[in-house]
């Protein structure tokens, strides 16, 4: 998936919205069965979509918090 925006925060926001849409259509990310992700299998280069979604959401939340702290520092409460 690729999102494009004028800044990183907006691009991550678009990606979070896209993942929410996929989740609404396909079901919860952590309940989707993905072949090749069994614990007893040998190492692979596959990544669970739920891990990607969690990472993107975490990045977006950290940018939002950073922006909020900067706004509070600049303008006060």
Give how many domains the chain has, as a whole number: 1
Whether 54 is in a domain gets the answer yes
- Is the pLDDT at 34 greater than 60? The verdict is no
Tokens of 14: 């678009």
Whether 65 is in a domain gets the answer yes
Which domain, by its residues, includes 75? 46-77
Give me the mean pLDDT over the 40-54 stretch.
78
- Is the pLDDT at 45 greater than 90? The verdict is no
**1, 18 contact by CB (below 8 A):** yes
Whether 6 is in a domain gets the answer no
pTM tops 0.85, yes or no: no
6 pLDDT band, cuts 50/70/90, is very high
**9, 67 contact by CB (below 8 A):** yes
> Within 10 A of 50 (CB to CB), how many other CB atoms are there?
17
Q: Report d(CA 15, CA 9) in Å as an integer.
A: 10
């Amino acid at each position: 998936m690729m999102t494009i925006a004028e800044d990183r925060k907006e691009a991550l926001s678009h990606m979070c919205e896209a993942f929410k849409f996929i989740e609404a259509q396909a079901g919860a990310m952590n309940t989707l069965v993905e072949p090749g992700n069994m614990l007893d299998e040998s190492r692979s280069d596959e990544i669970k979509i739920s891990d990607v979604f969690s990472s993107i959401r975490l990045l977006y939340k950290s940018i939002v918090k950073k922006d909020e702290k900067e706004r509070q520092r600049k303008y006060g409460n």
